[in-house]
Amino acid sequence: MAWTRNVLRVNLTDRSCSKEPLNMTWAEKYLGQRGLATKYLAEEIDPRVDALAPENILIMATGPLTGTAASTAGRYSVITKSPLTGTVACSNSGGFIGAEIKNAGWDMIIFEGRATSPVYLYLENERAELLPADALWGRSVWDADAWLHDRHQDPVLRIATIGRSAEQGCLFAGVINDLHRAAGRSGVGTVIASKNLKAVAVRGTRGVGNIDDPEAFMEAVTAGKKVLAEGAVTSQGLPTYGTQVLMNVINEVGAMPTRNMREVQFEGADKISGEAMHEPRASDGRPNLVTNAACFGCTIACGRISTIGKGHFTITNKPQYSGASGGLEYEAAWALGSDTGVDDLDTLTYVNFLCNEDGMDPITLGSTIAAAMEMYEQGIITTKDTGGIELRFGSAQAMARVAELTVVGEGFGRDIGLGSRRFCEKYRHPELSMTVKGQEFPAYDPRGIQGMGLGYATSNRGACHLRAYTVSSEILGIPEKTDPLATEGKAQLVVAFQDAAAVVDSSGLCAFATFSWTLEDIAPQIRAACGGDWPVDKLLETGERIWNLERKFNLDAGLTGKDDTLPERLLKDAAKTGPAKGRVNDLGAMLPEYYRLRGWTTDGLPTQATLARLAI
């Protein structure tokens, strides 16, 4: 079986590390990573616990395929209760540390309690110890990474760490691994900081040797790689332009949220697009993009490595940004760009570097700044609130300065670090927060892509595109084309995407592989790796079980069906331009059918029959 069957439990309060067997009954029902760790979370904490209390736990979890030869099998997730939303948080990341944890012999690491002073976990195969991190506290991700590599004299040590934003209490701080890969959303890094845990450094040399049927597994892996190599998105679009391939596409269909989602198209989209990243700068003749990059075992290589132009205002007195590092992806480029009205590519790259260097979610950061810009424009806040910053839409310098303050939790940056819901509530205009369940929207306006509105409203982690990426069908025609402006059939589409995504997130594979793969391509890989029978219908039932478990956790935490909604702006203010002109999101036409298909009551509660059928 592809599971290592080992769990490392780290009690930060008494500074102990202990090995325990993986609950294989749960693994058979929840597969791994997102699903399995959520089961552990639900069993071990009170869902109503304060997310930043020692009683909350945090889990770093791999999937059964993580670290194997399967393409894109380098994923791991960070699972906890979110301080930003109060919901279950599961933030997925690529890079190399997930495979390293697996190669060290562990399926997951569970952190509980709180250390009395800063520590980091050093893990070398079975050797696990908590070491003092006083010298690391107050350092950025990049500084901490360098310090740990120097301290252990191991150039291939894999490191996940938090930055200063988490230490300062920013509610949307993430965990950065391998310098610029992120478990970025929902404030999982803030939870780690609350436990006085700075970093996890891993060295694994054991390999993944538990494949049930190696010959069948390699046949399935080879077939899967062939499908990826033949898919237009996975063999051409993503390697060439990364996720930024979507910028101009989404803008043209009129679903580009702009200026705090007041508009659905951005006139500067072409200046911050994937194509623009390839164009030489006027200042130095060099393009923003240096090269693409791949995570562990990935044959797609959608990652971006970028530079900032010499002499740009953002790199004054910051020589570390003159080199190349992780470049813009679509969600960050949108949130920091279109949503704030900023079309300066190098400024967006710089602020994205800040988010990597100090562990902030660029989606929530950009969206919260956008809400603040709208407040400033309306006179709700002034320079007295912002510390003298003229926070107008389109001001690259203002956006960058606020981001710098947010990193260190100073001045107006501390307000931004609350996230847009709490920020807007503080200034008595909650209607200007573009969130679901307290988490900010990604880069698809649900007036122009109706299915995404239902996906956002029902997402268990708050607004999220990856929980039900109906853009794949509604815009890209994968696996089949549906009308983005229609509501008929969208409830069934969202349910299917949600269940399939839960499976992929629990397997150790990357969601981007599903631009070419279906579960028909994934099932043979799981079956050969894990043993037993894993047909597509069983995988879909597993995804449904995971979705309902997350839903139950949120309901037990105090959420209700009333939280399955969208901001009034998207339900009442029609799109002004583009193909969706005159349209709002018709959530009310889709939600009742969604509840029915889910086997829930009319107010969004899973019925006892549904819970019994799924053995929850």
CA atoms within 13 A on the CB side of 61: 33
Q: Are 470 and 455 in contact (CB under 8 A)?
A: yes
- Residue 194's pLDDT is 98
Say how far apart CA 497 and CA 458 lie, in whole Å.
12
pLDDT above 90 as % of the chain: 96
Pick the CATH number of 467-613 from 1.10.599.10, 3.30.70.1450, 3.40.50.1980, 3.40.50.1820: 1.10.599.10
Judged against a pLDDT cut of 90, whether residue 122 lies above it is answered with yes
Say how far apart CA 137 and CA 124 lie, in whole Å.
22
Say how far apart CA 92 and CA 149 lie, in whole Å.
24
Burial class, 301, CB count within 10 angstroms (exposed 0-12 / middle 13-18 / buried 19+)? middle
Give me the helices (H) in 195-321, please: 214-230, 232, 238-241, 247-252
Stretch 143-158: mean pLDDT: 97
**Closest listed residue to residue 331, CA positions, set 368, 369, 363:** 363
- Which pLDDT band, with edges at 50, 70 and 90, does 316 fall under? low
**Closest listed residue to residue 313, CA positions, set 258, 395, 392:** 395
> Which residues are 255's β-sheet partners?
none
Output the six-digit token pair for 120.
């980091």
Beta carbons within 8 Å of 452's beta carbon, 6+ residues apart: 255, 444, 446, 465, 468, 470, 471, 474
DSSP codes joined into one string, 285-305: S-BSEEEEE--TT-SS--EEE
Q: Are 268 and 251 in contact (CB under 8 A)?
A: no
Query: CA 147, 148, 150, 154: dihedral to nearest 10 degrees?
Result: -160
- Residue 44's pLDDT is 98
pTM of the predicted model as reported, rounded to 2 decimal places: 0.97
Q: Are 90 and 78 in contact (CB under 8 A)?
A: yes
Beta carbons within 8 Å of 358's beta carbon, 6+ residues apart: 140, 141, 163, 164, 165, 407
In the chain, what are the helix, strand and coil shares in percent, each to the nearest 5? 45, 15, 40
Output the six-digit token pair for 28.
């058979």
pLDDT tens-digit series, residues 409-435? 999 999 999 999 999 999 999 999 999
Judged against a pLDDT cut of 80, whether residue 205 lies above it is answered with yes
The structure tokens 């939600």 sit at: 591
pLDDT tens-digit series, residues 362-398? 999 999 999 999 999 999 999 999 999 999 999 999 9
Judged against a pLDDT cut of 70, whether residue 568 lies above it is answered with yes
**Closest listed residue to residue 334, CA positions, set 474, 434, 203, 199:** 434
∠ Cα 362 363 364 (to 5°): 95
Q: Which CATH architecture is the domain 258-433 placed in?
A: Orthogonal Bundle (1.10)
Say how far apart CA 506 and CA 428 lie, in whole Å.
40
**Closest listed residue to residue 464, CA positions, set 475, 474, 452, 476:** 452
The structure tokens 């069957």 sit at: 5
Task: Answer whether the bond into residue 214 is a cis peptide, omega within 30°.
Answer: no
- Residue 603's pLDDT is 97
- Residue 325's pLDDT is 84
- Which pLDDT band, with edges at 50, 70 and 90, does 309 fall under? confident
- Residue 476's pLDDT is 97
pLDDT tens-digit series, residues 37-85? 999 999 999 999 999 999 999 999 999 999 999 999 999 999 999 999 9
**Closest listed residue to residue 616, CA positions, set 603, 605, 110:** 605
Beta carbons within 8 Å of 378's beta carbon, 6+ residues apart: none
Stretch 529-538: mean pLDDT: 96
CA atoms within 13 A on the CB side of 311: 6
Work out whether the CA dihedral 78, 79, 80, 82 comes out positive or negative: positive
pLDDT tens-digit series, residues 273-290? 999 999 999 888 999 999
pLDDT tens-digit series, residues 226-274? 999 999 999 999 999 999 999 999 999 999 999 999 999 999 999 999 9
Judged against a pLDDT cut of 70, whether residue 317 lies above it is answered with no
Query: CATH classification of 6-203 is 3.60.9.10, yes or no?
Result: yes
pLDDT tens-digit series, residues 335-365? 999 999 999 999 999 999 999 999 999 999 9
Stretch 98-121: mean pLDDT: 98
- Mean pLDDT of all residues belonging to the chain: 97
DSSP codes joined into one string, 449-472: SHHHHHHHHH-BTBS-STTS-THH
Strands (E), 362-510: 435-436, 439-440
- Which sequence spans correspond to the domains of the chain? 6-203, 258-433, 467-613
**Closest listed residue to residue 163, CA positions, set 174, 178, 151:** 174
